[in-house]
């Protein structure tokens, strides 16, 4: 069984992961409107990853005898000033999510819920990657700032990213 508190917090995190997917899907649409298909495709992969995060928590909650309750998802921003601004927002968002995961771990420890704590460690590690991959693109865009043709090159590079679904439960 799972405590009411942990159940509520995990339901909250399912919502946060779905919002992340929604935000990145919105960024994909923005990049499509800017004729940057590689940037858009990178965001599609990111959206798919966020959906798997939500499902991972969903499955865990069910497995522990909890009850999944889906709440409404906040409308994401639709426009950004520039590709750089969008990726800076993505990086900032990932930092926020890392904070949410850390709060969840703290709660699991307070509640002495070791199974939830152990489950959450995958997310702790995943957030290190999430922050670094968004920041990597921010740095790339900053480096080529205003160089003609450079955005085209980055767009081509970002278009190479592929989605790899998690294979073994709890690992990716």
Give contact residues for Fe ion (rule: CB under 5 A). Answer: 17, 50, 53, 130
Smallest gap from Cβ 129 to Fe ion, in A, equals 9
Residue whose CB is less far from Fe ion, 113 or 130: 130
> Dihedral, CA atoms, 57, 62, 67, 73, nearest 10 degrees?
30
Would you say 154 and 38 are in contact if contact means Cβ atoms under 8 Å apart?
Answer: yes
Cα 153-159-161 angle, rounded to 5 deg: 125
Which CB atom, from 23 or from 154, has the smaller least distance to Fe ion?
23
> 26: Cβ–Cβ under 8 A, 6 or more apart, which residues?
76, 77, 78
Q: Which is nearer to Fe ion, 30 or 122 (CB)?
A: 122
Give me the least distance between CB of 91 and Fe ion, in Å please: 10
Q: Least distance in Å: CB of 57 to Fe ion?
A: 9
Q: How far apart are CA 7 and CA 14, in angstroms?
A: 11
CB of 127 to Fe ion, least distance (A): 7
In the complex with Fe ion, the residue whose CB is nearer, 96 or 156, is: 96
């Amino acid at each position: 069984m799972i405590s009411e508190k942990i159940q509520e917090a995990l339901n909250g995190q399912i919502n946060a992961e779905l919002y992340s997917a929604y935000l990145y899907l919105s960024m994909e649409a923005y990049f499509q409107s800017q004729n940057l298909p590689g940037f858009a495709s990178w965001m599609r992969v990111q959206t798919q990853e966020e959906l798997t995060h939500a499902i991972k928590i969903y499955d865990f909650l069910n497995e522990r005898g909890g009850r999944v309750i889906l709440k409404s998802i906040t409308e994401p921003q639709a426009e950004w000033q520039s590709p750089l601004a969008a990726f800076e927002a993505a990086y900032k968002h990932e930092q926020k999510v890392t904070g949410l995961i850390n709060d969840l771990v703290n709660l699991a420890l307070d509640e002495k819920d070791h199974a939830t704590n152990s489950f959450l460690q995958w997310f702790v590690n995943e957030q290190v990657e999430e922050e670094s991959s968004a920041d990597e693109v921010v740095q790339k865009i900053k480096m080529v700032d205003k160089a003609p043709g450079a955005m085209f090159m980055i767009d081509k590079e970002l278009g190479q990213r592929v989605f790899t679904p998690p294979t073994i439960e709890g690992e990716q």
